[in-house]
Chains A and B, each alone.
Chain A
Amino acid sequence: MQREVYRLKMYKLRFHGRGGQGARVASKVLGTAAFLDGYYAQDFPLYGAERRGAPVAASARISEEPIMERGVIAEPDIVIVMDETLLQDPLTKPVLGIKQGGIVLINTAHSPEEAKVEYKITAQVLTLDITKIGLDMLGMPILSTLAGGVAARIVGLSEDSLTDAVKKVLSEIITDKRLLDKNVAAALYCFNAITPAKIELELKTTDAIKKKSSKVISVPFEPATVSSPAINATGNTPLRMTGNWRVFRPVWNYDSCTRCMICVARCPDGCILVNEDGFPYTDYDNCKGCLICVEECPTNSLGKVREVHV
């Protein structure tokens, strides 16, 4: 175990991903590995609406002493961004509260320097194209054990505990032994693919934090026109583009397309429209990349291309 990395008494981590990507399981892998390495550990998810593609955060606390905290981690030491598009999501704000000198690991094809500039992150940035590793080693963009492996390396846990943790956590949810073995290999690959930076927290920031501290107030009365939980504003769902969730983009080959419209009928989100010439095309602002259209096309006129945010 890289004890020199483990400088703090307690590490607080947040994983940010999208529903189905494996943020919750990543936090379990990390928590279990820490527990097996003899630390006190606590891990938990924060869901909003439970659906695929929705932003999901999961957290873990790893400590040398009993943990006297519960709930949301407002000021993490380490953030693992499993989906790069979340960095531009105005509601998710994955790096919010990250401590100066803390570490943000981003799943991206960017270099750390590029990502730091692109996303205006002041903390230390590490990058790894975890999605590519997932696709190469598992054949699917499910990144739970891979993100867990990365996190285990950053906090300085052992390879043995990581291996046991992946086996333990996955055996509770899948029965496919080969897939489990592939996950162990992928987690270890990620574990060894990064060179963990040292967390360099400025421990003297207490004064600055004190100044910003919040004050308890007396909440004033407001009439029910304001204080009932009704929403008077008109709906804004159309403003919320869902197209940035895609791992794969469907692409068209109009040479073989017969304009049969099966793809139009099958798209669960109504994201396939028809152009002036009668050919279907995708509304990429809202297509989530489920690829049902690719599956259903009888003439194989649809292919897929991985989305890379560079």
Chain B
Amino acid sequence: MRKEMLTGNAAAAWGVRLAEVDYIPVYPITPQTEIIETLARWISDGVMDSKYVTMDSEHSMLTAAGSASATGARAFTATSSQGLLYGFEMLYAVAGWRVPLVMANVSRGLSSPITLEPDHNDVLAARDTGFLQIHCETCQEVLDSILMAYRLVEDERVLLPIIVNLDGFYLSFTREPVEVPDVEQVRNFLPLYQPKHAFFKASQPMAQSAAVLGGLGYSYFKYQMHMASQNALAVYKEVCEEFETGFGRNYDTIEGYMLDDADYVLVMTNSFSTLGKAAVNNARESGIKAGLLRLRLVRPFPVADLKAAITGKMAVAVIDQNISIGKGGILHSEIASCLYNEKHRPLLLSFIAGLGGKNISPDEFEFIINKTVTGADTEDAGTAQLIYTDKEWQEMERLKRMAGKG
């Protein structure tokens, strides 16, 4: 074990190296490319023994990665944003093959207008595909989650692909201290992948992904995927416990920060949660009993853990770093559906913030927390609110003038 300064991308690459992955098909995209560049360098230097193939698109890349996984190889790939969307057809296809592929997605806002900075419309667009999803807050968590991901999805009760998500820039290019475990330590936790259902032998041909008509077969296969994903909740707990035993770090499905005695709860995901935790500290200093719940496992959705953590609270503010155009915050809807039948459900407020990597300042968090407290007092959740300041509006006005918009 050693500790060093690593970017989120380098931490992801270390996870792949330590998992002793067999096959890595790649296609570059900012802000992901550093992951595949790092792996390419290690393979070229001879410190990593994997087959590395540059593909012509994300569609081909996902096809290759899923196919390799279906032959019994341990496979990895990585993408971001537009790349994820370009390969989208194959997300559903590969998940249907029931193969334990691990893919890193480095979140970046979707075009149009084009940007490079993060929000979660890319990864959340994949929420219905069958891929499980782990969302990370720190660079350490990225490395650890790659290891946990293989262990989780290679379990026979699961056998579905998984996305490990990290924010572009805020994690991908940000260096912070990361503990890199020894490979022997990782081997104890993550044994060789030896699938019974997926294998390739030239002497024994098999067909993958049969055609089904009439709906009877289709319904069966799809619902089996759903149940496998639900199984992953219990398997995740086992993996989490073993990981903690081996490495000393705990990553439950959700992370609570000052949550137990909190009256008011912020719900966040990914790297901006760090800013939310600082806001919770500030609120506590001014006497408001605030806490934060970070959703880590997004698929399968940890309904029971979530309910246990927030029923009985006065009010919960879901801060969505995404927007479902025409509906609002995606996670707000998902959490609302979990709580609808609860007798002691908290007031649920919706905020949209950090789109395209827009900073959420302490002032903006203060606004969210004040609105949450007032909401609880008046029993009025109000409507969804975009977090956007007067100063930002002034800057936008200036930019519009520059662009010839009167």
Contacts and interface: CB of A to CB of B under 8 A. Distances in A.
A221 B177 CA distance: 44
A71 B404 CA distance: 31
B393 A28 contact: no
Contacts of A71: 169-170, 275, 357, 359
Contacts of B173: 44-45
A229 B112 CA distance: 8
Contacts of A232: 403-405
A70 B113 contact: no
A242 to B, nearest CB: 20
Contacts of B391: 214
Contacts of B403: 230-233
Contact of A40 (B112, B170, B177): B177
B176 interface: yes
Q: In this complex, which of B113, B387, B403 has the most chain A Cβ atoms within 10 angstroms of its Cβ? A: B403
B119 to A, nearest CB: 13
Interface string A19-35: 00000000010011001
Interface in B126-179: 169-170, 173-177
Nearest to B31: A47
Contacts of A28: 5, 175
Interface in B1-53: 4-5
A217 interface: yes
A35 B177 contact: yes
B404 A72 contact: no
Interface in A192-216: 213-216
Interface in A216-230: 216-219, 225-226, 229-230
B277 to A, nearest CB: 6
Nearest to A42: B176
A68 interface: yes
Contact of B402 (A45, A215, A225, A233): A233
B218 interface: no
Contact of B361 (A40, A214, A218, A225): A214
Interface in A223-282: 225-226, 229-234
- By secondary structure, the B interface counts as mixed
Interface in B338-397: 357, 359, 361, 363-364, 367, 385-393
Given A232-B403, A233-B402, A233-B403, A214 B389 contact: yes
A41 interface: yes
Given A31-B5, A233-B403, A44 B393 contact: no
A69 interface: yes
Given A32-B5, A69-B274, A217 B389 contact: yes
Contacts of A74: 359, 361
Nearest to A212: B391
Nearest to A45: B173
18 contacts: A28-B175, A41-B5, A45-B173, A68-B281, A69-B275, A69-B278, A70-B271, A70-B272, A70-B275, A71-B357, A72-B359, A214-B364, A215-B363, A216-B363, A226-B405, A229-B112, A232-B405, A233-B404
Given A35-B5, A44-B173, A70-B170, 17 more contacts: A31-B5, A35-B177, A42-B176, A43-B5, A43-B174, A67-B176, A68-B274, A72-B359, A214-B390, A214-B391, A216-B388, A216-B389, A217-B393, A218-B385, A219-B386, A232-B403, A232-B404
Which 8 residue pairs of A and B lie closest in terms of their CB atoms, listed nearest first? A232-B404, A233-B404, A229-B113, A214-B389, A68-B278, A44-B174, A216-B367, A231-B403
Interface of B: 4-5, 112-113, 169-170, 173-177, 271-272, 274-275, 277-278, 281, 357, 359, 361, 363-364, 367, 385-393, 400, 402-406
